[in-house]
Amino acid sequence: MYSSIKHKIKQFSKYLSIFSFVSLFFVKKSQAVITLTKISGVPTKPIADILDDIIKWILGFGLMIAVTFLVWGGINYVASSGDATKTENAKKVVKYSILGVLVIGFSYAAIIMLDVIFS
């Protein structure tokens, strides 16, 4: 069970990083060209800003999931009552959730860095 969770966290982190970098590339390419038109009082907002907001929401959601797994792993560790297999499984969940938090944090930092470089 925990190995499938570990695999899903790794896969989610990988796809999140790839999506973030690809989206940033398209955001910067389309920033000067495409903007949303004003429709019945809706303010104009460049697509680059919209994609930037979407990326931040996705990274925030991923961070929320990783922290939830971190708390869940901590609760399982405390509730293991000295059982070796439960303790090891809880340690793995905590380890991989911390890894997920780090991947998301570095992804966000890389996006900000690339935004500064290409702006």
Q: What is the pLDDT of residue 102?
A: 92
- Count of CB atoms situated within 10 Å of the CB of 11: 10
AA letter at 8: K
For the chain, the structural domain boundaries read: 2-118
Nearest-5° angle of CA 83, CA 86, CA 88?
Answer: 105
pLDDT tens-place string over residues 28-74? 555 444 444 555 556 667 777 788 888 888 988 989 999 999 999 99
pTM recorded for the entire structure: 0.61
Would the pLDDT of 82 be above 80?
yes
For the chain, how far is it from start to end, CA to CA, in angstroms?
44
Higher pLDDT, 46 or 104: 104
Q: Is 23 helix (H, G, I), strand (E, B) or coil?
A: helix
For residue 46, what pLDDT is reported? 77
Q: Convert 69-98 to b/e letters by CB count within 10 Å (16 or more is b).
A: bbeebeebbeebeeeeeebebbebbbebbe
Query: What pLDDT shows up at residue 19?
Result: 62
User: What average pLDDT does this structure show over 97-109?
Assistant: 90
